[in-house]
Amino acid sequence: MPRILVRAHKNPFMVASAEKTLSDNLIGQNTGNLVFSQAVYRLLSTTDNTLSTGGIGSGTVAEELSEKYDHVVVPLANAFRPKYVERLDTMSAIFEKLTIPVTVLGVGAQASLEGEQRNADLLEPAVRRFVRAVLRRSGSIGVRGEFTQQYLKSLGFGDSDVEVIGCPSMFMYGPDLKISKKVESLGPDSPIALNISPYVKEMGPISLRHAERYPNLVYMAQNLSSLELLLEGHYPMGKKSPMRTSGVPVTLEHPLIRQDRVRFFLDPSTWFEHLAQYDFSFGTRIHGNIAALLAGTPALLLAHDSRTLELAEYHHIPHRLISDLPRDVDAADLYAAADWEPLNEAHHDNWVRFSGFLARHQLTHVYQPGQSAEMFDATLAATEFPPPVRTLMGATPEELYAMKRELAEAHHSRKEALKAMTSRAVPQNVTDYVRLAARRMVRRVRR
């Protein structure tokens, strides 16, 4: 029975609060990471495999991995970028010492829409080392699209070394994926899911216009900083950050924040369940839109860089270049012009290619004869995950009065604690009591 380590920030069955998710960064900066890692875990959940999840970081000992596991599977996203160089080197050093197979799924390069890469001189040595380390323990490396394939070819890797397989997230349910429009057209009252990369300035005006035009539009936040905004009331950014003036929802003044039209899901299953209620999803987050597709909701990507564009092109996900959008772009027009049939038609062949890659890497999956994902799905369904994080703007008067009572109790506790302190005692931060009470109330409101 193969013992497989799946690199993941979080086990699919792990239940964690919003506060723990934030403090421990259980989403790897973005909840989209949980989608493709869960897809890989589900696919490999056969009766023949014993799965574990974990990180591969600076504290990882290669010899211990080789003794404990028979195979290391590494789902990745846009890892070929300058900010990821240190982690690439860390994984390379570990892979170079492993004596067991390593399979990398869906890794991609990051560049602008024009294909320009920053700090290429810094990045290329790390990428070469990483790919060579993988190929020492693997027959090939699986990349997300043709842009990454060509990039690795430019670094000297051959056709047999690099296979385009797309993103594992699109194969969460194997060969079964069919998307069709739920309604003929969108109207002012249509439920719409919007996803935003806050650093993409073009999304500021888009979010403001759509917040006004579509009262049932909800922003599905994904990045860790947005979670901090919802929990703590502030988005970590510099005083001169262009995000402050671009109109993206990173301040409490944004209408989507003030009107309690933001949701942050901590787990894919609750995210999918919620997205199934919408008629349309669109925005710059590739995995935000893939999550919608997996929920059966038509989605369209506003591509803003090579990493999102190459996935949309490979999987035939409807998309528009954000640089080509009309100034007054509207969700209803995007929906009317989109066609999901090419995605449906391409999915079977893409699945055959992906499952063939798994077979060549001696990895069994739940869609093979005699296998099933029933146990994984039953376990996931029996797990009670927390509800989405939302703004406090949606709190009822009763909840706000309850917060007032807790703050009063915290103030009383602080006074009593201060009285009990001796002259040698180290004073605690007196605001800790208030913060603790406020966080308790936030947790209760979100239940």
Q: Which residue type is seen at 93?
A: A
Q: What is the pTM of this model?
A: 0.90
Q: Is the distance from CB of 385 to CB of 266 less than 8 angstroms?
A: yes
The secondary structure of residue 114, as a DSSP letter, is T
- Least Cα distance to 227 among 29, 83, 36, 385 occurs for 29
Domains 3-174+345-382 and 192-341 share a fold: yes
- Position 427 scores a pLDDT of 38
Region 27-48: what's the mean pLDDT? 98
Confidence of residue 421 (pLDDT cuts 50, 70, 90): low
- Is pLDDT of 234 > 70? yes
Q: What's residue 142's pLDDT?
A: 98
Over the range 210-227, which residues count as b (16 or more CB within 10 Å of their CB) and which as e?
Answer: bbeebeebbbbbbbbbbb
Local confidence band at 433 (pLDDT 50, 70, 90 cut-offs): very low
Decide if pLDDT at 426 tops 70.
no
Instruction: Tell me the percentage of the chain whose pLDDT exceeds 90.
Output: 84
Domain boundaries, the chain: 3-174+345-382, 192-341, 395-446
**Which alpha helices (DSSP H) does 104-202 contain, by range?**
120-136, 146-154
pLDDT at 440: 52
Taking CA atoms, 57 is separated from 78, 82, 118, 126, in Å, by: 17, 17, 24, 15
Helix, coil or strand: residue 74:
strand
> How far apart are alpha carbons 437 and 19 in whole angstroms?
14
Give yes or no for a contact between 322 and 309, defined as CB atoms under 8 angstroms apart.
no
pLDDT digits (tens, 9 = 90+) for 125-157: 999 999 999 999 999 999 999 999 999 999 999
Given pLDDT bands bounded at 50, 70 and 90, which one contains residue 423?
very low
Q: Does the structure show a pLDDT above 50 at 430?
A: no
Q: Which two tokens stand for residue 279?
A: 């008629």
For residues 362 and 206, give the distance between their C-alpha atoms in angstroms, rounded to a whole number. 46
Domain 192-341 in this protein, CATH class: alpha beta
What was the pLDDT predicted at 116? 86
- The predicted-structure confidence for 51-90, as pLDDT tens digits, reads as follows 999 999 989 999 999 999 999 999 999 999 999 999 999 9
pLDDT-derived band at 409, boundaries 50, 70, 90: confident
Q: What is the pLDDT of residue 117?
A: 86
CATH code linked to domain 3-174+345-382: 3.40.50
pLDDT, tens digit, 9 for 90 and up, residues 286-327: 999 999 999 999 999 999 999 999 999 999 999 999 999 999
pLDDT value of position 418: 67
Percentage, residues of the chain above pLDDT 70:
91
pLDDT at 267 over 70: yes
pLDDT at 442: 53
Q: What is the mean pLDDT of the chain?
A: 92
| Mean pLDDT value of segment 257-286 | 98
CA distance 441 to 419: 26
* pLDDT for the residue 173: 98
Tens digits of residue pLDDT in 170-210: 999 999 999 999 999 999 999 999 999 999 999 999 999 99
- Contact at 8 Å (CB) between 97 and 63? yes
Structure tokens at 317: 């996900």
Cα distances (Å, whole numbers) of residue 253 to 241, 262, 388: 16, 13, 21
Whether residue 413 has pLDDT greater than 90:
no
- pLDDT surpassing 50 at residue 97: yes
* DSSP 8-state class, residue 183: S
What per-residue confidence (pLDDT) applies to 443? 53
